[in-house]
Structure 1
Amino acid sequence: MPTIGSDTLSSPPGAAPARRGAAPGLRLTALATGFVMAALDVTVVNIAGAAIQENLHASWSELTWIVDGYVLVFSSLILLGGGLANRLGAKNVYLWGMAVFFVASLGCALAPNAAALVGARLGQGVGAALFMPSSLSLLVLSFPEKRERTRMLGLWSAIVATSAGLGPSVGGLLVSAFGWQSIFFLNLPIGLVGILLTLRCVAPAEVRPVRLAVPGHVLWIAALAALSFALIEGPRLGWDAGPLLVAYAVLVVSGGALVARERRAEHLVMPWSLFRRPSFSGANLVGFLFNFALYGSMFMLALYLQHARGSSPLRAGLELLPMTIWFPLANLVYARVSARFSNGALLTFFLLIAGVASLTMTGVTSTTPYWVVAVAVGIANIGSGVISPGMTAALVDSAGPENANVAGSVLNANRQIGTLVGIAAMSVVLATVPDWNRGPAVCFLLAGAAYVGAAVAAWRLIVRPERREAANA
């Protein structure tokens, strides 16, 4: 799941000049294709969930692995992907990631059963973790002039947001016309165009001999994998089953070992010292809770429309459009409102609106009029395009330009972990409360609580420091 909004506007040292003769639009297209595929895959797979369940006879836990397995690998490897980009060259790693994603998408489309689809989705997560950090880095390097770079980053963010907003409708059309496999075949021409344009139009970046914290990344991956297994398999196996007890032990041991290693190691997985800054911690907490609520509720909604209301994939995709079209629209509005209001104030305001709108749906049933659902979820999503760049800007302001790249990677990782846990939590609710007249209501309650919690975090950790800084200025 991609971050909508730029992580940094500063050119790293050693920036390579853009390749002469390559039109800016071609360079932008080359570096946006990866994010477009990743954005589409999150929202498109949601709308295809019911068809995948029916055609592959997938259980609730298998469906959750199909959606969350991708997010698990992506979130656990994205920090490592950023380090590899520095060490091996951003262009090389970007191309490798695109190639892995291309092959894994073909594997998804040809998967004969749910287990094979889960495996191919894990491969997609590896590819995304490689090309996502490199994409932004190459974009910044390709446009060294600040004014042009700012304009290109805005266009890049709008392309990604539009892809996420239109994903459900595109997915519904494809699934209805060609079957669920078509959503993965869609990645093949997009990926091929991206690879060819990158080879031709994008200049390589300088390689920096950065030492990777491989043991720390292994512990990080083990902890996230154990957490995911426990959340996804708990409803099926029972929360006190033997495999779950093993997962709990792995989570505690790997998490404890990671903390112990990070306290004494020279090369760290995360820049923990930055978390001492309230705004940095606040932006990351907001990112986790925001993605938990947004992507968890969208996962549930796609299934609710098809299972509870009997909508076809095409109709469900069209019904989701009024709820998701706000992503790109609000993203474009951010540039205007950010000049008048602080990032903390914008985050608090729009997160509170999303929380209240979600909590009004705690009485939703299978017979609730569609327009009620569309209005409530649309209002909840109306600020999403403001929240994403707002939290990124607050993070970069707190971290400072010298830490902008690593800070953006940390925020991306935390947001994807929020997506991972949010989807798993909604799946737990739907598996535990299989009644479609109660399950979605509980999911909306969880989403609303997460939005309100994020608003409180934004107020206490971002707005208050902003006010103190203004008073001391």
Structure 2
Amino acid sequence: MTSATSRATTGRTRPVAAWLPLAVVLVTQMMIVLDAAIVNIALPDMQQALNIHPADLSWVINAYTLAFGGLLLLGARAGDLFGRRTTFAAGMLLFTTASLLGGFATAPGQLFAARAAQGVGAALVAPSALAILMSLYTETKDRTRAIGYYTVVSASGAAVGLIAGGVLTSYVSWRWVMFVNVPIGALVLFASRSALPKGQFRRGKVDVLGALLSTAGMTTLVYGFIRAAADGWSDDGARLSFAVALLLLAAFVAVERRVSEPVTPLHLFADRERSTAYVARLLLVAGSMGSFFFLSQYFQIVLGWSAMKTGLAFIPFPITIFLSSQLATRVLVGRFGAKLVMAAGMALSTIGLLMLAQMGAHSTYSELVVGMVVFALGNGTAFVPLTAAGIANVEPKDAGVASGLVNVTQQLGGSVGLAVLVTVFATAGDGAATSAAATSKAKDIFVTGADRGLLVAAVLLAASLALVLVAMRPARKQEAVVEKPAEQLVLEAEPA
């Protein structure tokens, strides 16, 4: 990466400057995405060790993704105001410390709080990391390769987390899915001092009220779904949660329209391509979360596999995602256009989930792996143009916020999607929630609920496909988008 110049080191170009900034950003992104999934394999062990109520089990995931997604834009704004390297370091320190405390948790509340603190740290780190990456690699070829690697890490991180979770849970303890972040985080924190540019401070205000309203609104919305999963749709608490969530989110929009420096500049949604990419990404991730959540428990509860074997079962995911994303970056987008590639990827993902929704209590891995590969092939293909579209046509002053919105849609999509799918699972399974029980009846109930959940996940992906087909403009020719760096980034992709 020749354009990662001496700005990242000591004023003189050295070999380390060519790869260290990229390595720091990619390892950071892998930690952030991986941490949303690594706990999936450990959920049965966590439930037994800490006596977590089955209906509350999804909070192990949602406490992280809600804090992350809800505060991401605040983190992006903080990076713009206080310097991206400073914000990055503060977030990484919090993320690492929370990981350590979560590993020592002895009660459900302690674990949920640690996961939420991890999410806050990730919200400070993620937008600064992507904005730094875009500023370091200014030449088209270098930026193409950098965002290609970034997209691969983002798309495959969840699957890698499942594999790592299986290894750690089997050979050490579920606590190590938290502890593993500590040495990696410390190393990244140390390396970032020399690898990342310091950045500049500038005057401005932080829209704390907007950030709190959006986070509270999304958290209340997810709580409503979780409450409905446990107590049914007629529960007064669930209905009240939905009503309060709508009020909070409406207040959030009102605040953002009035403040001078909003945490979410609403004008970013004025571009049809970009706003469509945000919503499509949210729906795609919302549906995708179900595959990891249900399959990781299906292998352990129904098939009786160990955590290690379950983790290894997901190996086809990162391999397929890597290969398909590279193919999309280097060949497909330039030849067929971003819209067609997005649509094809979403269609494949939908088909893959429909195949997985046919699993039964006696299904074999060989029957399921075909659907897994088709699903992963679609995700790897769709995420590349979606990432580029999410940061296209953005003014330099909004680069951090636009980068944050890419991650916001991913994290909030995962949180809300998982809450919806868990609710569908519980109601379809005759009110039963996820459990580590292995009785014949429990297996049948789990399979019934999981199949229904995966079917609804496929509907969410089909909705993202329909949105892209209806709202996205036909892809322009490559020479016509020279003024759009983010699109050009993908359209001019070449082999590394």
In the superposition, the TM-score normalised over structure 1's length comes to: 0.90
Matches within 5 A, 1:324-403: 324-336=318-330, 337-397=332-392, 399=394, 403=398
Q: CA deviation at 1:180?
A: 0.5
Q: Note if contact 1:219-1:254 (Cα within 8 Å) is conserved in structure 2.
A: yes
Which of 67, 78, 101 in structure 1 is aligned with 2:72?
A: 78
Matches within 5 A, 1:278-357: 278-336=272-330, 337-357=332-352
Question: Does 2:7 match 1:17?
Answer: yes
| Aligned-partner residue type, residue 462 of structure 2 | V
Cross-structure match for 2:129: 135
Q: CA deviation at 1:97?
A: 0.6
Instruction: Give the distance between the partners of 1:446 and 1:330, measured in 2 at CA.
Output: 25
Instruction: Give the distance between the partners of 2:147 and 2:246, measured in 1 at CA.
Output: 40
Matches within 5 A, 1:14-53: 17-20=7-10, 21=14, 22-53=16-47
| Aligned-partner residue type, residue 98 of structure 2 | A
Instruction: Give the distance between the partners of 1:159 and 1:75, measured in 2 at CA.
Output: 18
Instruction: Give the distance between the partners of 1:177 and 1:257, measured in 2 at CA.
Output: 48
Q: Note if contact 2:151-2:383 (Cα within 8 Å) is conserved in structure 1.
A: no
Instruction: Give the distance between the partners of 2:460 and 2:393, measured in 1 at CA.
Output: 23
Going from structure 1 to structure 2, the CA distance change for 1:384 and 1:368 (only over 3 Å counts) comes to same
Cross-structure match for 1:108: 102
1:249-290 deviation per Cα after TM superposition (whole angstroms, max 9, x unaligned): 421321222233333333333232343333222211210110
Question: Does 2:259 match 1:269?
Answer: no
Q: CA deviation at 1:161?
A: 4.6
Instruction: Give the distance between the partners of 1:162 and 1:356, measured in 2 at CA.
Output: 19
Bigger mean CA deviation after superposition, 163-172 or 306-315 = 163-172
1:9-34 deviation per Cα after TM superposition (whole angstroms, max 9, x unaligned): x99xxx99222355322222223332
Instruction: Give the distance between the partners of 1:274 and 1:149, measured in 2 at CA.
Output: 22
Cross-structure match for 1:120: 114
Q: CA deviation at 1:114?
A: 1.7
Instruction: Give the distance between the partners of 1:277 and 1:148, measured in 2 at CA.
Output: 26
Cross-structure match for 2:210: 216
Q: CA deviation at 1:126?
A: 0.5
Instruction: Give the distance between the partners of 1:126 and 1:365, measured in 2 at CA.
Output: 39
Cross-structure match for 1:413: 408
Matches within 5 A, 1:245-256: 245-256=239-250
Which of 189, 192, 201 in structure 1 is aligned with 2:186?
A: 192
Instruction: Give the distance between the partners of 1:204 and 1:401, measured in 2 at CA.
Output: 17
Instruction: Give the distance between the partners of 2:201 and 2:167, measured in 1 at CA.
Output: 43
Cross-structure match for 2:465: 455
Q: Note if contact 2:329-2:384 (Cα within 8 Å) is conserved in structure 1.
A: no
Percent of aligned pairs sharing the same letter: 28
| Aligned-partner residue type, residue 457 of structure 1 | L
Cross-structure match for 2:494: none
Cross-structure match for 1:442: 452
Which of 54, 59, 76 in structure 1 is aligned with 2:53?
A: 59
Going from structure 1 to structure 2, the CA distance change for 1:466 and 1:267 (only over 3 Å counts) comes to same
Instruction: Give the distance between the partners of 1:161 and 1:354, measured in 2 at CA.
Output: 13
Bigger mean CA deviation after superposition, 78-87 or 309-318 = 309-318
Instruction: Give the distance between the partners of 1:323 and 1:158, measured in 2 at CA.
Output: 11
Q: CA deviation at 1:466?
A: 5.4
Q: Note if contact 2:328-2:341 (Cα within 8 Å) is conserved in structure 1.
A: no
Q: Note if contact 1:33-1:191 (Cα within 8 Å) is conserved in structure 2.
A: no
SS in 2 for 1:363: coil
SS in 2 for 1:437: helix
What are the ranges of 5 or more consecutive residues in structure 1 without an aligned counterpart? 1-9
Instruction: Give the distance between the partners of 1:465 and 1:275, measured in 2 at CA.
Output: 19
Cross-structure match for 1:169: 163
Instruction: Give the distance between the partners of 1:251 and 1:327, measured in 2 at CA.
Output: 35
Going from structure 1 to structure 2, the CA distance change for 1:261 and 1:118 (only over 3 Å counts) comes to same
SS in 1 for 2:200: coil
| Aligned-partner residue type, residue 9 of structure 2 | R
1:53-97 deviation per Cα after TM superposition (whole angstroms, max 9, x unaligned): 222222223211111110000010000000000111100110011
In the superposition, the TM-score normalised over structure 2's length comes to: 0.86
Cross-structure match for 2:491: none
| Aligned-partner residue type, residue 333 of structure 2 | S
Q: Name the Cα RMSD after superposition.
A: 2.5
| Aligned-partner residue type, residue 353 of structure 2 | S
Bigger mean CA deviation after superposition, 332-341 or 100-109 = 332-341
What are the ranges of 5 or more consecutive residues in structure 2 without an aligned counterpart? 433-444, 481-496
1:288-325 deviation per Cα after TM superposition (whole angstroms, max 9, x unaligned): 11001112221111111111221110111111222443
How many aligned residue pairs are there? 457
Going from structure 1 to structure 2, the CA distance change for 1:436 and 1:329 (only over 3 Å counts) comes to same
| Aligned-partner residue type, residue 453 of structure 2 | C
Instruction: Give the distance between the partners of 1:107 and 1:405, measured in 2 at CA.
Output: 30
Going from structure 1 to structure 2, the CA distance change for 1:148 and 1:398 (only over 3 Å counts) comes to closer
Instruction: Give the distance between the partners of 1:192 and 1:276, measured in 2 at CA.
Output: 40
Instruction: Give the distance between the partners of 1:260 and 1:41, measured in 2 at CA.
Output: 33
Q: Note if contact 1:105-1:124 (Cα within 8 Å) is conserved in structure 2.
A: yes
Cross-structure match for 2:86: 92
Going from structure 1 to structure 2, the CA distance change for 1:82 and 1:327 (only over 3 Å counts) comes to same
Q: Note if contact 1:82-1:409 (Cα within 8 Å) is conserved in structure 2.
A: yes
